[in-house]
Amino acid sequence: MKTNAINLNGIGMTSQRTRDRLLSRLIDQGIGCMRLLDVVRSTPRHIFLDEALAHKAYEDVALPIGFNQTISQPYIVAKMTEVILNTGKFDHVLEIGTGCGYQTAILAQLAKSVSTVERIKPLLERARKNLKLLKLRNIDFRHVDGSLGWKKNAPYDAIIATAAPQRVPEALLQQLAPGGRLIIPVGGESNQRLQLITRDKADFNVEVLEQVKFVPLLCGQLQS
């Protein structure tokens, strides 16, 4: 991404008017939390994309960010965040799969602190740069396989996984605080379900929310 060309306010297809159309779409799809909608409205999604794709930034679609990965669809970012916001404490949040940092930016404006982990190092570095540009400083980054979570900062009020494992990693359940929620897509490429798992002391209550399509949660780390 060419940082010298970045305009946080946006022009043309990235202007506030185009962004407001995205807001209407999210509201039409049932997103109702005003605090969250305000944050989505003021977060420049175009800076998370390569310049060639910036004109599509406010369409409600996932888009490529390199390394076979995508920036999540705004609806799904909003939906996952809203579910977590509406179900309990939201002070200390862990995100699995930083990508280019868009969801991280939304979370960081709503939570007290966000920990985020990514297995592809260049993506993590890009996210770090993007979030610095937005002057968001309550974020801890780590290059690691997210199926292990991040024990050092645990327990978390909420964990948001933005890549899909075949089975829920045990470490993520163990790093939830009492009353903590894990929202995670689970399953193979053609059959994923978004699950909301709530911890009640040693018990976990699982609720299946909707059919989704995320990139897979992969093992190990990549340096480049």
The reply on whether position 74 binds ligand SAH by CB under 6 A is no
CB proximity list for 131: less than 8 A, separation 6 or greater: 101, 104, 105, 108, 139
72 has catalytic annotation? yes
Q: Say if residues 182 and 168 touch (Cβ distance below 8 Å).
A: yes
Residue 53 binds to ligand SAH (criterion: CB under 6 A): no
Per CB under 6 A, contacts with ligand SAH among 118-137 are 118-120, 123
Using CA atoms of 130, 136, 140, 146 in order, give the dihedral in degrees to the nearest 10: -50
Query: Which residue's CB is nearer to ligand SAH, number 96 or number 108?
Result: 96
Residues within window 23-52 making contact with ligand SAH, judged by CB under 6 A: none
Q: Which of 72, 115, 147, 190 is catalytic?
A: 72
CA–CA distance, 207 with 167 (Å, rounded to integer) = 15
Task: Based on the shown chain and the rule CB under 6 A, indicate whether residue 70 belongs to the binding site for ligand SAH.
Answer: yes
List the x/- string, 185-224, binding to ligand SAH by CB under 6 A: ------------------------------x-xx------
Cβ closest to ligand SAH, residue 133 vs residue 179: 133
- What is the DSSP-derived secondary structure letter of residue 200? E
Query: Please, which residue, 115 or 198, has the CB nearer to ligand SAH?
Result: 115
Residue (of 69, 41, 34) closest to 163 by Cα position = 69
Tell me the per-residue interface mask from 80 to 109 with ligand SAH, x by CB under 6 A, - otherwise.
Answer: ----------------xxxxx-xx------
Stretch near ligand SAH under the rule CB under 6 A, chosen from 16-24, 29-37, 142-150, 182-190: 142-150
Please, where are the H alpha helices in 1-108? 16-28, 34-42, 74-85, 102-108
CB atoms within 10 A of CB 124: 22
Question: How far is residue 101's CA from residue 172's CA, in Å, rounded to a whole number?
Answer: 20
Q: Draw the binding track, 147-176, toward ligand SAH (x: CB under 6 A; -: no contact).
A: x--------------xx-------------
65: nearest Cα among 118, 1, 3, 16: 1
Q: Which residues are catalytic?
A: 72
Residues that bind ligand SAH (CB under 6 A): 69-72, 77, 96-100, 102-103, 117-120, 123, 145-147, 162-163, 215, 217-218
